[in-house]
Structure 1
Amino acid sequence: MSAFRKLTAGLAGLAACAVAVPATAADDTQFDGTITLGAAISLTGKYSTNGGHTKKGYDMAVDRINSMGGVEVGDKTYKLEVKYYDDESTPARGAQLAERLIQQDDVKFVLGPYSSGMTKAIAPVTEEHGVPMVEANGASRSLFTQGYDYLFAVLSTSEQYLASAVDLRAELARKDGMKPSNMTIAGVFENDPFSQDIRAGVLADAKEYGMEMVVDDKLPPEINDMSSTLIKVKATKPDMLVVSGHSKGAALAIRQMSEMRVNVPMLAMTHCDSAQIIKKFGDKAEYTLCASQWAPSLKYADKYFGEASQFAKDFKKRYGYAPPYQSAESAAAVLVYKNAFERADSLNKKAVRDALQKTDMMTFYGPINFDDTGKNIAKPMVLYQVQDGEYKVVAPTKYANADVRYPMPKWSER
């Protein structure tokens, strides 16, 4: 715990001693049949699409929990609701709204915004006020190196995004009678915090297997050209190419690799779904491996949504499209709060925070167990492959619903 947190905790303890009413009882009386969760999310601005996905996930879970009896704390039953503000995809606005939720609206529990940048802006505010924040869309590992005590993330953090791809490359090498240490990797990463976190994870995983990074390029934000990297890939002939440049980078990689006829045995990327590579590129997207937080085909289940596939069906029925993983992880964040409220048997912020720290549960989104930094260490990333115009889970192997198609055929053979 940071010195600041120790000081504020000590002051809070002194204040509690001066009041005759126990803290838990006093806190619980503030909730008149409803527990309000606060959320500043991007309803306008550059993150508005995924901000909308986030809100829909929160709403799905709140409505489902309420329809199944609400939240039981002690001898009382509460309904959940979410108070939303639009952060306009601007970090400064997000921090301002978090302050408003806590100071003016008296919100005791916060749901995270969309994106790592917005989460970084809000986390210092919730921490300062000792307000728990369960977030589902801030993956940057740097969020969990600040010593925050009140921040918890249900998703896998950024350095894990392409770990399954490196593991799969090693697994296939062994299957072919080769050593993983003989494999080479080429990487191209946008020079932003998220993609550089992914780069750090790939480098660490490659080092663990003894794999050599033969290309390690950083490209500027707002990537417009990847040709210089792809020329290096042609020259070095790596056993795998990994790309992290958000949706623009994913689309650019498919387009320029097909135009330049760049052949690699394996291609793994982030943001395939948001880049709509199947819709935009058709056959050119075939064989691409795509990192994902979640997939509807996974056999995770809970009593609120059933299996992952049932959540996907319910979501599509309600909103008219298949759920992106942002919606699934957001719904899971609400389930985590319900679980913590009931285990704490209290609505005291500190008691709920302590219950969150001890979370060990299964949801339709996957297992959730937080380490001391607030990261979920129980859920692996999954790896899709584009097969016949559809995404199929191919790794980790124990979660796969299809065999990986490998190696990628040369462009001249497609």
Structure 2
Amino acid sequence: MQAVRTVFAAALALGLFASTSAVRAQDVIKVGAPLPLTGALSPEGLKQQRGYNLWAETANAAGGIKVGGKPYKVEIVYVDYASNTPRAVQVAERLITEDKANFLFAPFGSGAAKAASGVSERYGIPTIAATASSREVYDQGYKFLFGTFTPNETLIDPLTEIVSKGDPAVKRVAILARNDLLTLSLANLMQAAAKAKGLEVVMMERYAIGTMDHASAITQMRGAKPDWVFATGYINDLILIRKQMADQGVSPKVLTMIAGPAYKEFTEATGPLAENVSSASWWHPAVRYKGVDLFGTTEAFNAAFEKKYNVVPDYAEASAAAAGAILQLAIEKAGTLDPAKVRDALAAMDLVTFYGPVKFGPTGQITSLEPPVFQIQGGKPVVVFPAAVKQADFIFGK
């Protein structure tokens, strides 16, 4: 399927398509955004787009980005890579060489972000990854890649601590993982963390990208009799796994899924089956920060997002908006569009935004956040960690 290009001035954006006529006569900053707007990962891609749109529209409504005292409008150039990673790499290069993007947002997820990062590095274009958490993305020695997700173990370690301390009867763990960079990394970390806590890993299986039937793996899971099931995948994967677990009567004391339950679509699709499913994410609307970015506070960001989309933002949407806000702060600090100087401003950043404290480590991955652990209780996600934003205690099954 031929990539679908969407180019628009964010101040006038009403959806996927919008006119750019109002901004072409003005000075603009182009940000290239390769996204999976169709295909299996489209739910995630569309979420990122909503976050980017809100940031750009908010920035433009406030007069744009100030560069050396001169205002510039934000223009986001979207290209759909149809959930195909090799195509994401091609799109990233096209955005730089043909569309003349000043900066880039990375493709969705760790796998595509890693694959495309070599392109922006080669051209020296500062790139912010809003949904890439695996260390493998950042451990390439690159200087122009920055990410708003902490490493994967920051999700796994609090979970294993909560479960191992909370119920000594949880002893046997089954792991089912999508065979993709992020999801497999999470599964491997879970396996190591479980063993470190003295838990027995009775199953460690991976499934291929695009799998539409998990019955065989879940039959194996049922035979292993786990107390804790840990499944990784994207939202469509995990909805299917949760339903097929119910079909086969697999009902562990603890069911953890990353990353689908962070999205309201998971709860809507699984209904009562979502209850007590635990997860972790890099952000939650319950956090409260007062920042120096254009949104100012977490509450203000939440209100702006709900006003525009009529839903509460999730971590992917917030991270995308934060990526834009962070890029804006770096450009304004640098006082120029020179990519090397904006890159240096990103590397030196140490401040607070609505998303949380922002400081990047030596590899470009953010090191300053404490990701929350949550559980679906009463049909909605509630935070169970960290203590500063805790809303409820973790519930164990029988």
Q: Secondary structure in 2 aligned to 1:310?
A: helix
Q: 1:88 to 1:282 in 2, by over 3 A?
A: closer
Alignment partner, residue 370 of structure 2:
380
Alignment partner, residue 206 of structure 2:
218
Alignment partner, residue 18 of structure 2:
none
Q: 1:96 to 1:229 in 2, by over 3 A?
A: closer
Alignment partner, residue 397 of structure 2:
408
Q: 1:108 to 1:397 in 2, by over 3 A?
A: same
Matches of 1:259 and 1:220 in 2, distance apart?
A: 21
Asked if residue 63 in structure 1 is aligned to residue 66 in structure 2, the reply is: no
Matches of 1:280 and 1:382 in 2, distance apart?
A: 23
* 1:352-381 deviation line (CA, Å, top 9, x unaligned): 111111222222222222111111122233
Instruction: Give the AA of the match of 1:384.
Output: F
Matches of 1:100 and 1:248 in 2, distance apart?
A: 29
Given that 1:251 and 1:275 are in contact with CA atoms closer than 8 Å, whether structure 2 keeps it comes out as: no
Q: 1:150 to 1:335 in 2, by over 3 A?
A: same
> In the alignment, which of 178, 189, 195 is matched to residue 190 of structure 1?
178
Alignment partner, residue 363 of structure 1:
353
Instruction: Give the AA of the match of 1:90.
Output: N
Q: CA deviation at 1:69?
A: 4.3
Matches of 1:105 and 1:278 in 2, distance apart?
A: 39
Instruction: Give the AA of the match of 1:293.
Output: W
Q: 1:231 to 1:97 in 2, by over 3 A?
A: closer
Instruction: Give the AA of the match of 2:355.
Output: Y
> In the alignment, which of 118, 126, 129 is matched to residue 135 of structure 1?
129
Asked if residue 328 in structure 1 is aligned to residue 322 in structure 2, the reply is: no
Which deviates further from its counterpart, 326-335 or 188-197?
188-197
Matches of 1:188 and 1:282 in 2, distance apart?
A: 22
Given that 2:111 and 2:182 are in contact with CA atoms closer than 8 Å, whether structure 1 keeps it comes out as: no
> In the alignment, which of 352, 375, 392 is matched to residue 342 of structure 2?
352
Given that 2:156 and 2:193 are in contact with CA atoms closer than 8 Å, whether structure 1 keeps it comes out as: no
Given that 1:250 and 1:275 are in contact with CA atoms closer than 8 Å, whether structure 2 keeps it comes out as: no
> In the alignment, which of 74, 79, 104 is matched to residue 80 of structure 1?
74
Alignment of 1:229-244 (within 5 A): 229-230=217-218, 233-234=221-222, 237-244=225-232
Alignment partner, residue 281 of structure 2:
292
Asked if residue 91 in structure 1 is aligned to residue 81 in structure 2, the reply is: no
Matches of 1:105 and 1:257 in 2, distance apart?
A: 46
Alignment of 1:73-222 (within 5 A): 73-173=67-167, 183-222=171-210
Q: 1:150 to 1:312 in 2, by over 3 A?
A: same
Given that 1:42 and 1:114 are in contact with CA atoms closer than 8 Å, whether structure 2 keeps it comes out as: yes
Gaps of 5+ in 2: 1-25
Which deviates further from its counterpart, 355-364 or 246-255?
246-255
* 1:79-118 deviation line (CA, Å, top 9, x unaligned): 3332333333333433333223322333221122223343
Instruction: Give the AA of the match of 1:296.
Output: P
Q: 1:118 to 1:253 in 2, by over 3 A?
A: closer
Q: 1:91 to 1:106 in 2, by over 3 A?
A: same
Matches of 2:237 and 2:49 in 1, distance apart?
A: 26
Which deviates further from its counterpart, 124-133 or 294-303?
294-303
Given that 2:291 and 2:356 are in contact with CA atoms closer than 8 Å, whether structure 1 keeps it comes out as: no
Q: Secondary structure in 1 aligned to 2:75?
A: strand
Alignment partner, residue 22 of structure 2:
none
Matches of 1:150 and 1:69 in 2, distance apart?
A: 27
Which deviates further from its counterpart, 378-387 or 247-256?
247-256
Alignment partner, residue 24 of structure 1:
none
Alignment partner, residue 308 of structure 2:
318
Q: 1:125 to 1:384 in 2, by over 3 A?
A: same
Given that 1:166 and 1:206 are in contact with CA atoms closer than 8 Å, whether structure 2 keeps it comes out as: yes
Q: CA deviation at 1:171?
A: 3.7
Matches of 1:46 and 1:241 in 2, distance apart?
A: 24
Q: Secondary structure in 1 aligned to 2:392?
A: coil
Matches of 2:212 and 2:86 in 1, distance apart?
A: 28
Gaps of 5+ in 1: 1-31, 410-414
Q: Secondary structure in 2 aligned to 1:276?
A: helix
* 1:183-238 deviation line (CA, Å, top 9, x unaligned): 44321212232221111221333344343323222233334454555555555554
- Normalising by the residue count of structure 1, what TM-score does the alignment of the two structures yield? 0.80
Q: 1:90 to 1:229 in 2, by over 3 A?
A: closer
Given that 2:278 and 2:374 are in contact with CA atoms closer than 8 Å, whether structure 1 keeps it comes out as: yes
Task: Determine what percentage of the aligned residue pairs are the same residue.
Answer: 31
| Rg (Cα) greater in structure | 1
Matches of 1:240 and 1:310 in 2, distance apart?
A: 38
Q: Secondary structure in 2 aligned to 1:162?
A: helix
Q: Secondary structure in 1 aligned to 2:30?
A: strand
Q: 1:254 to 1:329 in 2, by over 3 A?
A: same
Matches of 1:219 and 1:152 in 2, distance apart?
A: 29
Count of residue correspondences: 372
- Normalising by the residue count of structure 2, what TM-score does the alignment of the two structures yield? 0.83
Matches of 2:354 and 2:171 in 1, distance apart?
A: 35
> In the alignment, which of 374, 398, 406 is matched to residue 388 of structure 2?
398
Q: CA deviation at 1:274?
A: 4.7
Given that 1:187 and 1:216 are in contact with CA atoms closer than 8 Å, whether structure 2 keeps it comes out as: yes
Given that 2:191 and 2:201 are in contact with CA atoms closer than 8 Å, whether structure 1 keeps it comes out as: yes
Given that 2:375 and 2:381 are in contact with CA atoms closer than 8 Å, whether structure 1 keeps it comes out as: yes
Q: CA deviation at 1:323?
A: 2.6
> In the alignment, which of 237, 254, 272 is matched to residue 261 of structure 2?
272
Q: 1:246 to 1:100 in 2, by over 3 A?
A: closer
